[in-house]
Amino acid sequence: MFEWPLLSLLIWLPLATAVLVVFLGQSFETLVRPVALAGTLVVAALSVVLYLGFDSGTAAYQFEEKVAWIETFSVYYHLGIDGLALPLILLTNLIGILVVIGGWAIKDRPHLYLAAFLVLQGLMVGVFAAMDAMLFYVFFEAMLVPMFLIIGIWGGPNRIYATVKFFLFTFFGSVFMLIALIWMYLEGGSFQITDLHQLPIALNAQILIFLAFLIAFAVKIPMWPVHTWLPDAHVEAPTGGSVVLAAVMLKIGGYGLVRFSLPITPDAAATLDWLVIGLSLVAITYIGFVALAQSDMKKLIAYSSISHMGFVTLGLFLAFAIGRNSGEFAGAGLGISGAMVQMVSHGFISAAMFSAVGVLYDRVHSREISSYGGVANTMPWFAVFAVLFFMANSGLPGTSGFVGEFMVILASFHANVWFAFVAATTLLLGAAYSLWLVKRVFYGEVGNQSVAALKDINAREWVVLGTLAFFVIAVGVWPFPLIDMMEVSVSHLIDHILESKLK
């Protein structure tokens, strides 16, 4: 039977659609949006095929495609996914549809806007599916370009500062990754990620490589203290840009840690896990406080994202501390699975919150909390969604926000009581900043004229928010399918990282 190159299709179909959309251009403007939507829908349908065809019983890479690309340097166009990549690909393609629907009302050069998102979507799938480090790097860098344009062209008044900051920050980080990759190529003669996983490396070299990767991915996640580009980027980005940035691009940092840092340099990770855990705990609490002080809704959500991504990095690096504390590794998988679930869940919730802010911004053109008040009076349905999403953001059980946090807190208790103690402060801080925002924006008497004139969400916004609400609740009530997808890969990863690969 002929095997479709599914992963390639998932990568290149959005790009092809993007080209088509650009060519349709302004001359056939009415067609631009339906074509873009159709493209993302086909991609989503293929993702479902991918999900159905995926065997969660094995940690092996599936749907592999391998073609020589630059043979002199043994660089291959090599794709494949395991249980760690699949959920993120599904997330990416779901968000892809919602962004197109959400961007329906864009007036300024919609063909370019949609094309940029389609390109971005394809490249992000490429990042998750790449099995060759160079290929990963190419996608990783290329991805910056459409986002750079999206913020720079369709962004707010201070967009140039934000977009340059965004670009320089992430570019600065990835250069270190490139150096590390080249060094390992010289050492082992291969860019295949699976080969790199097996490559024995001395401890001091491992530490340098680990740090190089950490810089690259920490900027992306972002971890404290290299996070300051994110609030600026979010504030200036258009709604769709914020959605993709928060929902998917941040996850690439977390994915990088799982795919590169942990398995390639496990001994360095074991040596330096205190660093990552410490930064994560700082992110959870310190950023939680900073979020509390924000007066701009998008900034608040951006800081909340950083704080939630702290759970991802915390969960990923608990394994070694658990081993030191209890002499065994029960609970390590809980941490890593929790981190993965947290990534997916945060994808839904942050996308939902930014979409919600977008809904308000489209009507009132202000992101300031103080410009609102009593929105629930004029937009009751919207308020229902918003309260749900902010509750999910504060980790309410029954929503996806709870699952990952809960698992990571349980795991962190295995490592150290105080890790759990500090991590659990998010229960208070997360609820405080989320619900205080809800109180100031949605409750109370109608705040002013513009709030009084608000109309409730239209069908298009219903679809976006409703879809996200469905997933937020579904994962919260029954996370089994999601966790089952990656369970075997996670335990495989743990077995791998606990084995020293010192030279």
Partner 1 sequence: MLPLAGSLLAGLFGRQIGRAGAHWVTILAVAGSFALSSVVAWEVFFNDLPTMNYSVYTWAVVDGFQFEIGFLIDSLTALMMVVVTFVSLMVHIYTVGYMHDDAGYQRFFAFINLFTFAMLMLVMANNFLQLFFGWEAVGLVSYLLIGFWFKKESAVKANLKAFLVNRGGDFGLILGVAAVAYYMGSLDYAQVFEAVPAVAGQQMSVFGGVEWSVMTFICICLFIGAMGKSAQAPLHVWLPDSMEGPTPISALIHAATMVTAGIFMVARLSPMFEQSATALSFILVIGAFTALFLGLIGIVQNDIKRVVAYSTLSQLGYMTVALGVSAYSVAIFHLMTHAFFKALLFLGAGSVIIALHHKQDMREMGGLARYMPITAATAWLGSLALIGFPFFSGFYSKDMIIEAVKASDRAGTGFATFAVMAGVVVTAMYTFRMLYLTFHGTTRMDEHTRSHAHESPWVVTVPLILLAIPSVAIGYLTIEPLLFGGALADAITVLPANDVVAKLSEKFHGAFAFGIHGFVTPVFWLAMLGVAISTYVYLFNTQVAAVAKARFHWIWRLLDNKYGFDVFYQKGIAGGALMLAGGLSKWADGRLIDNALVNGCARMVGQCASLVRRLQTGFVFHYAFSMIIGLVALLAAFAWLR
In the complex, the residues that contact partner 1 under the rule CB under 8 A are 165, 168-169, 183, 186-187, 204-205, 208, 225, 228-229, 286, 289-294, 330-334, 337-338, 374, 376-377, 387, 391, 396-398, 402-403, 406-407, 409-410, 412-414, 417, 420-421, 424-425, 427-428, 431-432, 435-436, 439, 442-445, 478-480, 483-484, 487, 490-491
Q: How far is the CB of 406 from partner 1 (least distance, A)?
A: 7
Of the pair 189, 397, the CB lying nearest partner 1 is at 397
Of the pair 14, 338, the CB lying nearest partner 1 is at 338
Measured between alpha carbons, how far is 179 from 185 in angstroms, rounded to an integer? 10
CB 99: neighbour CB atoms within 10 A?
28
Q: How far is the CB of 181 from partner 1 (least distance, A)?
A: 13
Residue 316, amino acid: L
Determine the 3-state secondary structure of 132 from DSSP.
strand
What does the DSSP 8-state code read for residue 192? Answer: B
Q: How far is the CB of 348 from partner 1 (least distance, A)?
A: 17
Q: 217 Cβ partners below 8 Å, 6+ apart?
A: 173, 177, 252, 253, 254, 256, 257, 260, 261
Measured between alpha carbons, how far is 139 from 93 in angstroms, rounded to an integer? 16
27, burial (CB in 10 Å: exposed 0-12, middle 13-18, buried 19+): exposed
Of the pair 114, 309, the CB lying nearest partner 1 is at 309
Go through the chain and tell me how many residues it has: 503
Of the pair 228, 458, the CB lying nearest partner 1 is at 228
Of the pair 205, 498, the CB lying nearest partner 1 is at 205
Of the pair 113, 169, the CB lying nearest partner 1 is at 169
Q: Check: CB of residue 287 under 8 Å from CB of residue 239.
A: no
Q: How far is the CB of 396 from partner 1 (least distance, A)?
A: 6
Measured between alpha carbons, how far is 314 from 275 in angstroms, rounded to an integer? 10
Q: DSSP string spanning 42-106?
A: HHHHHHHHHHHH--TT--S-EEEEEEEEEGGGTEEEEEEE-TTTHHHHHHHHHHHHHHHHHGGG-
Residue 346, amino acid: H
Q: How far is the CB of 133 from partner 1 (least distance, A)?
A: 18
Of the pair 232, 461, the CB lying nearest partner 1 is at 232
Q: How far is the CB of 168 from partner 1 (least distance, A)?
A: 8
Of the pair 122, 333, the CB lying nearest partner 1 is at 333
Measured between alpha carbons, how far is 45 from 18 in angstroms, rounded to an integer? 18
Of the pair 68, 452, the CB lying nearest partner 1 is at 452
- Name the CA dihedral angle for 460, 463, 469, 471, rounded to a multiple of 10 degrees: -140
Task: List the beta bridge partners of residue 77.
Answer: 67
Measured between alpha carbons, how far is 9 from 57 in angstroms, rounded to an integer? 24
Q: How far is the CB of 118 from partner 1 (least distance, A)?
A: 32
Residue 12, amino acid: W
Of the pair 30, 449, the CB lying nearest partner 1 is at 449
Q: How far is the CB of 287 from partner 1 (least distance, A)?
A: 8
Of the pair 191, 413, the CB lying nearest partner 1 is at 413
Angle among Cα 38, 342, 101 to the nearest 5 degrees reads 20
Q: How far is the CB of 153 from partner 1 (least distance, A)?
A: 22
Q: Which residue has the tokens 């650009």?
A: 22
Q: How far is the CB of 432 from partner 1 (least distance, A)?
A: 6
Name the region of 456 (left: φ>0; alpha: ψ -120 to 50; beta: rest).
beta
Q: How far is the CB of 379 from partner 1 (least distance, A)?
A: 13
Q: Which residue has the tokens 């103690």?
A: 421
